[in-house]
Structures are given as C-alpha cells and as structure tokens.
C-alpha cells in the first residue's frame, strides 16, 4: 500500500463517518479555577533553572584543567569564536583570515585535494607565523585552558 492509497482510504473513512453521523467524542480538559496554582510548578522550575545558570556562571570563573588539540582551521576557528569578545581588536582581526579560510573549507563542494592542501597550508603558516606573538597565549588565557597543541598532518607544530 503506497501513500496515495493510504490517503484515499483515510479520506473515504472520514467521508463515511460524516455521512453516518458518527462524531468522535472529544474530552475537554477541566477549566482552570486557580491560575496561581496552575502555574506554580512552572514558576518553581524557572527559578531552579535561574539558580543553575548562576551556579554555571560562578563555575565559569574558575579555571579548569583542560588540554585543547587543534588540527585544522575549523578547530582553531571554533576556539576563537568561543572567546572572541575577550580578545583585543587586533587579535580579532588576526583571526579573520582563519574565519574566511575555514568558511571556504566548509563550503568546498568539489573535495579538491589541492585546494584542501592549500587551505591547510595557510593554517600551518598562520600557526607558525604567530607562534612568537602573544596571540595564542591570549587565546589560551581567554579560553581558560591549560594548554593548546597545534597539529599539522599529525605532527605537533606548536604547543602553548
């Protein structure tokens, strides 16, 4: 039985039900008499969620022991996006190239190995070129991680 046959069968059954006067009995919910009591559970759950958000924000100020591994432009871009507001304007501008290149990599429909190799080469040059600046140290501090390790073709190229 295909979809059109199922639809025709359903429509025929509905037409028969109308013709025969059969009406499905719908049970309506009880009317709300006390609005405050009705919304009491909702208000309590919102208060719980608000308290959880306060606890999360307090925990966010504590540094956690984590090690981040960056393998390509997309990984680097994702870390940058999480802490963008905590970086200076010049540091944000430095990451604009990574944003553009990772966007090209994600939207690449041809799966051309030469293009992917060039984009990954840009990532490698970016990491090596900024390894002596404070860019990655600032990124690490803003992300509140212990270390960031950068890899290119399964080889470590920089660690901070």
Which pLDDT does position 134 carry in this prediction? 86
Residue 68 lies in a domain: no
Residue 151 lies in a domain: yes
SS3 54: helix
- Please give the model's pTM, rounded to 2 decimal places: 0.54
User: Does the pLDDT value for residue 157 go beyond 70?
Assistant: yes
Residue 120 lies in a domain: yes
Which pLDDT does position 54 carry in this prediction? 45
Range from 13-17, 20-24, 31-35, 79-83 that averages highest in pLDDT:
79-83
DSSP class of residue 144 equals T
SS3 123: helix
56/117: higher pLDDT: 117
The residues, any chain, with a CB within 8 Å of residue 32's CB and separated by 6 or more, are 38
Q: How confident is the model at residue 136 (pLDDT cuts 50, 70, 90)?
A: confident
The two three-digit tokens of residue 23, written as one number: 């009406």
**Which among 127, 19, 31 has a CA at the least distance from the CA of 79?**
127
Residues 30, 111: contact at Cβ < 8 Å?
A: no
Mean pLDDT, the chain, whole residue set: 76
Q: How confident is the model at residue 26 (pLDDT cuts 50, 70, 90)?
A: low
Residue 142 lies in a domain: yes
Q: How confident is the model at residue 52 (pLDDT cuts 50, 70, 90)?
A: very low
Q: How many domains does the chain have?
A: 1
Residue 118 lies in a domain: yes
State pLDDT tens for residues 63-122.
555 888 888 888 888 888 888 888 888 888 888 888 888 777 777 666 677 777 888 888
Find the domain containing 114 and state its range: 73-159
Residue 5 lies in a domain: no
Residue 65 lies in a domain: no
Residue 55 lies in a domain: no
Q: How far apart are CA 155 and CA 81, in angstroms?
A: 25
- List, as one string, the DSSP characters of 74-118: HHHHHHHHHHGGGS-HHHHHHTHHHHHHHHHHHH--S--HHHHHH
Q: Say what percent of the chain tops pLDDT 70.
A: 73
């Amino acid at each position: 039985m295909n979809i059109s046959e199922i639809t025709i069968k359903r429509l025929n059954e509905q037409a028969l039900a109308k013709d025969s006067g059969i009406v499905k009995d719908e049970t309506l919910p009880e009317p709300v008499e006390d609005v405050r009591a009705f919304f009491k559970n909702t208000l309590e759950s919102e208060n719980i969620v608000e308290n959880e958000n306060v606890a999360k924000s307090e925990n966010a100020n504590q540094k956690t022991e984590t090690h981040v591994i960056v393998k390509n432009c997309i990984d680097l871009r994702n870390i940058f996006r999480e802490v963008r507001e905590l970086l200076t304007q010049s540091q944000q501008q430095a990451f604009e190239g990574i944003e553009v290149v990772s966007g090209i990599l994600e939207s690449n429909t041809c799966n051309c190995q030469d293009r992917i190799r060039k984009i990954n080469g840009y990532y490698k040059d970016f990491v090596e070129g900024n390894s002596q600046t404070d860019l990655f140290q600032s990124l690490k501090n803003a992300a509140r991680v212990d270390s960031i390790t950068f890899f290119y073709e399964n080889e470590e190229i920089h660690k901070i």
